Every structure is written in C-alpha cells, then in structure tokens.
Amino acid sequence: MSKPITEAGFQMAKQRLKTMRAEFETLPEIIAEAREKGDLKENAEYHAAREKQGFLQAMISKLESDMASSEVIDPKTLNKELITFGKKVTLKDKSNDKILTYTILGELEADISKNEITIVTPVAKGLLGKKVGETVTIKVPAGDKVFEILDITC
C-alpha cells in the first residue's frame, strides 16, 4: 500500500537520505583510525563508530523503504470540499471551545511541533472525508473528543 506524501515532503526526505549517506560514508575511515589505536576490547571510539554505522545503516534502509512505498500527491488536485490528505483543518474543540488547526500529512513529513499530524493518527482518520460545519466524535487514547469543523484549506 502506498503512503501519501507531498512533493515538498518527498524532497525533504531525499535530502535527509543524502545527508545520512554522506555521514555513513565517513564512518569506515573513522573506524580504521580507531582500530589503529590498539586493543579493540577497550577502544570506546571504535565501538561507538561501529554502533553508529549499524544505526545509520538501519535508518537509511528504513527511509529508502518508506520512500519507495510513497506516492507523491498534490493536495490541490483533491476535493476542496472534503478533508483529505494535505489539507489544513481548523477545528473547534467542543469541550473547551478551543480553536485548533492541523495539517494532515504523510508519515515521512508531518511535524507535530508545526501542528502537522500524520494521516494515520486517530484524529486525522476521524476527520477524513468530512466537511465544514460537521461535528465529529473521535476516539483518542484520552477518551472521546468532539470537534466542529470550521474551515478546510489547501
């Protein structure tokens, strides 16, 4: 199953992959230098570099796999009346009248510190396909949340 991603998100993932690969390519030299320093049993520099090499390789493999299963989607081509991937949604939390704004993005690009949530979160799943003016009840780990949809933008 393909995972949606915006073009900007895909380009960010490509840059992240490039950075990780560049760092990975420096590790054999660091390992060789550490190895030359003697006894490997007590060589913390050597063990740290080897550990980092394994960790980076796993991260690179995971990112490559995620990118291979991604599908670049332009949110502007999707229905403008409905909440879909890539849309910015303004909600009113009915329990406290607080106004919340989220952008629904793919797993590789969402950043909660920027109010971006992944399409697989309970909130995003509960909002998909809904329209302005609707009230939705969404089950979240803390209990049921009731939101009124105030606005949808791209």
Kindly tell me the sign of the dihedral angle through the C-alpha atoms of 142, 147, 153, 154.
positive
pLDDT band at 72; cut points 50, 70, 90 = very high
Q: Which strands, in side-by-side order, build the sheet including 135-140?
A: 116-118, 98-105, 88-93, 143-153, 135-140
> What is the per-residue pLDDT for 39?
66
pLDDT band at 2; cut points 50, 70, 90 = confident
Contact 145, 137 (CB under 8 A): yes
> What is the per-residue pLDDT for 142?
87
- pLDDT, tens only, 88-142: 999 999 999 999 999 999 999 999 999 999 999 999 999 999 999 999 999 998 8
Contact 105, 71 (CB under 8 A): no
Domain architecture of the chain: domains with CATH = 3-72 (1.10.287.180), 75-153 (3.10.50.30)
> What is the per-residue pLDDT for 80?
92
Closest CA relative to residue 95, chosen from 146, 150, 151, 149 = 146
CA distance 105 to 81: 17
Q: Measuring CA to CA, how many Å separate 120 from each of 15, 34, 94, 101?
A: 24, 43, 23, 17
Supply 117's token pair.
């949530």
Whether 154 has a pLDDT exceeding 70, the answer reads yes
Cβ neighbours of residue 115 under 8 Å, at least 6 residues apart?
100, 101, 102, 103
Whether 57 has a pLDDT exceeding 70, the answer reads yes
Whether 54 has a pLDDT exceeding 80, the answer reads yes
